[in-house]
Amino acid sequence: MTNKDIIKGFRLLTQLMELHGANPFKTRAYSTAIQSMENAGTPLIGLNNDELIALGFSKTMAEKLVNWFSSGTLDDLEELKEKTPEGVIDMMGLSGVGPKKIAALWKELEIDSLDKLKVACEENKVQTLKGFAAKTEAKILQQVDFLKENKKRLHYAKAEKFAEVIVAFLEEKGIKNSLAGELSLKREVVDTLSFTVVAESSSQLKTSLSEFNQLILDEAKSSPLTVRGELVETGTSVEFFVCREEEFIKIAFQKSAAPEHLSLRGSADYPTLRDVLNKTEYSSIEDIYKNAGLPVFPVELREGEEYVGDFIKNGIPTLVEDEDLKGSLHNHSDYSDGQNTLREMAEYLKAKGYEYLGISDHSKTAFYANGLSVERIEQQHKEIDALNKELAPFKIFKGIESDILNDGRLDYDDDVLATFDFVVSSIHSPLTMDKATATARLIKAIEHPATTILGHPTGRLLLRREGYPIDHKAVIDACAKHGVIIEINSSPWRLDLDWRWAKYALDQGVKLSLNPDAHAVEGYADMHYGLLVGRKAGLTKEMTLNAMSLEEIETYFKSRKK
DNA sequence: GCCGTTTTCGGCCCGACTGTTTTCAGTCG
Per-residue pLDDT tens digits for A194-216:
999 999 999 999 999 999 999 99
Q: Which of A519, A453, A463 is nearest to A486 (CA)?
A: A453
- Give the pLDDT confidence score for residue A428 in this predicted structure: 86
Per-residue pLDDT tens digits for A255-269:
999 999 999 999 999
A521 and A510 share one domain: yes
Q: Which nucleotide's C1' atom has the smallest distance to the CA of A60?
A: B1
B chain positions with any atom within 7 Å of a protein CB = 1-3, 11-12, 14, 16-21, 25-29
A252 and A377 share one domain: no
Tell me the percentage of chain A whose pLDDT exceeds 70: 100
A305 and A351 share one domain: no
CA distance A64 to A76: 9
Residue type at A117? L
Q: How far apart are the first and last CA of chain A?
A: 50
Spacing of A132 CA from B26 C1' in Å = 11
How many domains are there within chain A?
4
Coil, strand or helix at A240? strand
- Which residues span the domain enclosing A210? 152-256
A33 and A171 share one domain: no
Per-residue pLDDT tens digits for A382-422:
999 999 999 999 999 999 999 998 888 898 999 999 999 99
Taking residues A299-325, what's their average pLDDT?
95
- Give the pLDDT confidence score for residue A379 in this predicted structure: 94
**Domain end point (choices A256, A282, A306):** A256
Beta strands A189-190 and A192-198, pairing class: unpaired
Spacing of A53 CA from B25 C1' in Å = 36
Nucleotide B18: nearest residue by CA–C1'?
Answer: A96
Return the top range by mean pLDDT from A231-235, A339-343, A452-456: A452-456
Spacing of A81 CA from B13 C1' in Å = 28
Q: Decide if pLDDT at A371 tops 80.
A: yes
**Domain end point (choices A294, A314, A334):** A314
A194 and A233 share one domain: yes
Spacing of A444 CA from B24 C1' in Å = 34
DSSP letters, A117-147, are: HHHHHHTT-GGGSTT--HHHHHHHHHHHHHH
A515 and A439 share one domain: yes
- Give the pLDDT confidence score for residue A169 in this predicted structure: 97
A158 and A103 share one domain: no
Q: Decide if pLDDT at A157 tops 90.
A: yes
Q: Which nucleotide's C1' atom has the smallest distance to the CA of A134?
A: B19
Per-residue pLDDT tens digits for A71-128:
999 989 999 999 899 889 889 888 888 888 999 999 889 999 998 999 999 988 898 8
